[in-house]
Amino acid sequence: MGIAHVGHAELRVTDLEASRDFFTRVLGLYVSAEDDDHVFLRAWQDWDHHTLVLTRAETSGLEHVAWRVDGPDALGEFERQLKGLGIETAWAEGGAGVSLGHGDALRFLSPAGIPTELYWEVDRYVEQDPALQSKLPSHPQRYTGNGVHPRRFDHVNFLVDDPQASQEFFSDQLGIRHNYYITGDLGQGEQRLASWMAKTNLSHELAFMRNRNQSGSLLHHVAYFVDTADQMIRAATILADAGVKIEWGPGQHGTSGAIFLYCIEPSGNRVEVWSGGFLLFAPDWQPIRWDPETSPLGLELWGSDMPDTYLTYGTALGGGVPQPA
């Protein structure tokens, strides 16, 4: 029983039409399906039916983040494990609604209120438009270069009151490896400020950062990956020319080594475009600690100032399953 990789995220958006325009025309994602209230999106080398769902809503935020498990029996095993911890679960029927493109899914809220979905069966993307069909078997569609044009979905990041507790839950109960973390002195001794985690060899697929306002859990951002630093500069120019607010970057995270850029899409959700980042292959990896002296370089190696909003602003979390006690 185990997690295979992060699969997709469902974003609630208050202006579906404007957000669709941003994610397609500006960011350069592709629509794999849509109806009046949902748009299913993917990057050009995402193999699954979708990696992002936009859902029309009254408040913006994250409805759920989904992980694919490593086999058909894992869902029932995770259900028993979670119920043993006193965590309530619910099933979402696959193949319809927001579960289009994958099979039945197990949903639950983590103790910090992170809306999480687990699934096994998945529909592979098949390009139907002859103009976008690639001659290359390794490409689910042609590379067009439209918009920022990221290669793939990368990760999801949350603001939480207690990053260490959230990291330990997802590591202990879902087996997601803890890769590196930052500590700081907040006047009560050294405390965990952020943790980054992954099940694959990526530097991270999931992250938790301390909410400076201590106002509960929020979505910090969803992220898509481009190949090179040159593409990051191109992304910044495209976003600026489209009138999109760039919150921070381009810069470089010392923790992962990745070049980053954060922007706010029209409905208010934060989106990161990034490139680079180290890969992990050791089966006995031990998380790297960035202490209070080195942690500023962990967040921004090149010295630009972190905006005040970075550790305070986020959008709300949903879930559609019973709230944790």
Structure tokens at 205: 């697929």
Do 90 and 11 share a domain, yes or no? yes
Give the pLDDT confidence of 174-216 residue by residue, as tens digits: 999 999 999 998 878 889 999 999 999 999 999 999 999 999 9
Give the pLDDT confidence of 128-144 residue by residue, as tens digits: 999 999 999 999 999 99
Do 186 and 307 share a domain, yes or no? yes
Mean local confidence (pLDDT), 141-165:
97
Give the pLDDT confidence of 52-71 residue by residue, as tens digits: 999 999 999 999 999 999 99
Give me the residues paired with residue 245 across strands. 264
Supply φ then ψ for residue 219, to 5 degrees.
-75, 125
Secondary structure (H, E, C), 236-305: HHHHHHCCCEEEEEEEECCCCCEEEEEEECCCCCEEEEEEECCCCCCCCCCCEEECCCCHHHHHCCCCCC
Q: How confident is the model at residue 234 (pLDDT cuts 50, 70, 90)?
A: very high
Cα–Cα distance between 193 and 144 in angstroms, integer? 40
Chain mean position to CA 186: 27
For helices 74-84 and 163-174, angle between their N-to-C axes, nearest 10 degrees:
130
Cα–Cα distance between 101 and 33 in angstroms, integer? 9
Please say if the pLDDT value at position 23 is more than 90.
yes
Range of the domain at 37: 3-119
What is the total count of domains within the chain? Answer: 2
Do 194 and 106 share a domain, yes or no? no
Q: How confident is the model at residue 322 (pLDDT cuts 50, 70, 90)?
A: very low
Q: Is the pTM of this model over 0.75?
A: yes
CATH code for position 284: 3.10.180.10
